[in-house]
Structures are given as C-alpha cells and as structure tokens.
Amino acid sequence: MTTKLQELVRTFARVEDSDWDSVKNLVRTQVLKKGEHFISLGDASDKFGIVEEGLFRIYYVDSEGKEAIKTFRGAGGVIGAYAEFLKNIPCRLNVEALTDSTISVIQASDMIAAFKSVGPWERVGRKVAEQLYLEKEEREYQFLCLSAKERYEAFLRDYADNESKIPDYMVASYLGITPVYLSKLKK
C-alpha cells in the first residue's frame, strides 16, 4: 500500500527501497478524532505531518480570542509550524482535525538528520518548502488583488473535494469576510 507520504516524496524525487528503509522507522502513524489538535499555540515546533486521510485547518487565535484561518489541508497535505521551526520559537498557530484523520508524523530532528544523509531527502525537503512558499504567495496575491467573490471562487476550485466538510464560518474566516457576507456570495 502506498501512503500519501510516499506519493508526496515520489513527486519530488526518485526514491530507492534503501532510501525508504533509512527513514521508515522515523515515521509514525497518528490518528486524531474530529476536533483534536496535532499542534496547539505554544507547543514546541518540533514535528511535521503528512495527511494520509482526513482534513485539517491551520489557524491563529489573536489576543482577543478571534480565530483567523490560514489554510486547510486534506490528504497529501503537509501540516506543522514550519516558520516557527525555522525561527526556533514556540508554535503561534493551531492545527486541528476537522474530520477523523490519520497522519504520518516525523520529528523535526529526524527530518533534519534525513536531509543531511545520502539520498533524496534534502531535495524532497527543498521541494516541499518551495511548494509551501508558492502556496503562501498565492494566498497573499488573493488577499491583495482579488475581490471577496474572486477569493471565494478560488476557494471552491482549490478545496472542491473538501468544501462540503468545512463549516461556513470557517470558510468566511479563511476568506477574510463575515459569515453574513459569505451567505450573500453563495446566492
């Protein structure tokens, strides 16, 4: 059986069985129920996951308790606090399962050790970082240059497989609009 982790890696590099053998014991499976967090505000930013099945939201909470959704991640998506890991600071975000979910988890220290080893792992890490950067650029472009209606249309395209699993108030937060305005856009 091929996992989403294997599929993700294979999109970026040719991986021999010996390369898989060098990391397979570093990856563990974690099951989360709907509403459980993989990462919470203040946690150490020391692990990353690949969504095998399920759906997650990555969000911030401001000083007044208001949530702002950064993104959603479905099967094959990477979850973790990458910026916080690079800065060596505690997590500023939360990663919550929106459905019962299964993820492949690797500790950041093990991931770095794999990047330094012989094999395709450094290339895979660089490609994943590039992918995350491109997603961030697209999100910034949408907020700076697109109307709320255009952002909603992009959301429907980007999350077509999971749109029905995401409550409207979360979609509104992701789009930077109110739930009332979202209901007007849906008409």
- The predicted-structure confidence for 2-15, as pLDDT tens digits, reads as follows 587 778 777 877 77
Distance CA 139, CA 133 (A): 10
Distance CA 57, CA 80 (A): 11
4-120 is a CATH 2.60.120.10 domain: yes
- Residue 2: the pLDDT is 57
Q: Tell me the pLDDT tens digit for each residue of 72-101.
A: 999 999 999 999 999 999 999 999 999 999
- Residue 33: the pLDDT is 98
Query: Of all residues in the chain, what percent carry a pLDDT higher than 90?
Result: 70
Strands 67-73 and 94-97: unpaired
Residue range 56-67: average pLDDT?
95
Question: Is-contact 155 175, C-beta < 8 A?
Answer: yes
- Give the residue among 66, 80, 91 at the shortest CA–CA distance from 169: 66
Q: State which H helix or E strand residue 9 sits in.
A: helix 4-12
Distance CA 105, CA 83 (A): 18
- Residue 118: the pLDDT is 60
Distance CA 66, CA 106 (A): 30
Mean pLDDT over each residue of the chain, to the nearest integer? 90
In the predicted structure, residue 36 carries a pLDDT above the cut 90: yes
Q: Give the start-to-end residue ranges of the domains of the chain.
A: 4-120
- Residue 143: the pLDDT is 95
Question: Is-contact 22 71, C-beta < 8 A?
Answer: no
- Residue 70: the pLDDT is 96
Residues forming a β-bridge with 48: 80, 106
